[in-house]
Every structure is written in C-alpha cells, then in structure tokens.
Chains A and B, each alone.
Chain A
Amino acid sequence: MASIPPTPPPPDVPLGPQMCPHARSFADWCDTLVSAATAKNDLVSLNQAKLLLIDRYFMWRVNVPVRHQVFPRPTSVHVCIFAVFESAYRRLQDAILALGPSPLVHPPYPAPPPPPAPMYETVNGIVVGETLDKDFEP
C-alpha cells in the first residue's frame, strides 16, 4: 500500500498569487498543520490533523466576508479559502492512504493493568483479629 503514489493536485487549482488575503492567511496555517502531521506520518496524527482542519475551516468560514464564504470554485483571479481547505485536505488524505487501508474493526482494547499484588506478611502464629488499638487504656 505504501507504493501507491499520492494523488496529484487538481491542475485547475493555482494556489499562488491569486489567493485572496483570507485564503493566504488560512493557507499559512494549513501548511503548518499538514507539514507537522506528515512529518509524524502516523495514522492518529494525520486523522487528528484532518479533523482539526475541518473544524478550523468552518470556523474560518463564518469569520470571512460573505462573498468569501460561498466561493466554491477557484478562478484565475481569486483562489479562496475553500480551495485552500480542499488542497490541504487532499494532502492529508493522500498521506493517510499511503499508510495503508483504514481498519474496518475497532482495534483491540489494551489489556487492563494487572491489579497491584497484595502484600503478604508471613507470621508464625495465629491471627486473632484486626488491631483497633494496640495500647488500649480504659
């Protein structure tokens, strides 16, 4: 599975100087996130990064002007935050797929830690009871 080449980015997404200021700011954040996750290159980190990316995208979306909120397709003069989100999402997804297929079942739970071993004391005699007060004075 590791030999599957990553999906090439869509040719019609020129992420460059056409980005609006909101998209550029978001792209900086996405680059940092994707770089850190792909550097670790483990399934949990990549999935966490993907989840964080989705959350952050929608948070970004409600804070940009309305015309940037609904800008589905990039054009030659305006690449907006959705295109940046889609690009970052694709890079993370490629990295996840490169690790192998997603598991279809829950991983086994880790074995519970063994209970602490009781402490024994060896006595040469008869246990009568629990001591409540070893120096009882009426």
Chain B
Amino acid sequence: MSIRKEEIRKIAHLARINVSQTELDEVEKKLVGILDLIEKMQEVNTDSIEPMSHALDINQPLREDKVTEKDIRDKSLSLAPHSEQSLFIVPQVIE
C-alpha cells in the first residue's frame, strides 16, 4: 500500500502539522508500513455487517437546560499564551 508524497503533504496540511522536506521520506516509510497493516482489514467480507460505534447499546442522555457553570474568565485567561482585554490573542484572522 503506497502513499504519494503529495498525499502526505495534503493530510499534513489538513492536520496543521509541518512536515519538512527532510522529514517527508521518514514519514512516508513509516506511514506505508502502517497502511500495509491496515490493509489486512480488506481480507474479510463485511458487506452485511453493521458498523459499531460504541461497545454498548445505550442512548444519549439529556441535560436539563439549567445554568450550572460559573464565570472562569480569570483562570482561563491566565492559562492563555497571549491574552489582552479579556480576549485570546492570535494573529489576524483574515476572512
């Protein structure tokens, strides 16, 4: 199972992770190995099988529409890499 370097660049972009030119070969080699492993799944026919998202057959519980959370602004702003005037500061978001 091969993966083109172009595809690696694309998924790295989607995942917002830099993969440098030099790293690309290493990454490709390791990914190909894992993809070969995953390919084994195709050995078995699963056409009539229902996918399983959760181990147990239970339903989503619902929460009462009551306020339970208090203002943690001071704490959360203190944990931020950069905050100003109660906002989290990042490089300009261009629409």
Q: Do A and B bind each other?
A: no
B residues engaging A (CB < 8 A)? none
A residues engaging B (CB < 8 A)? none
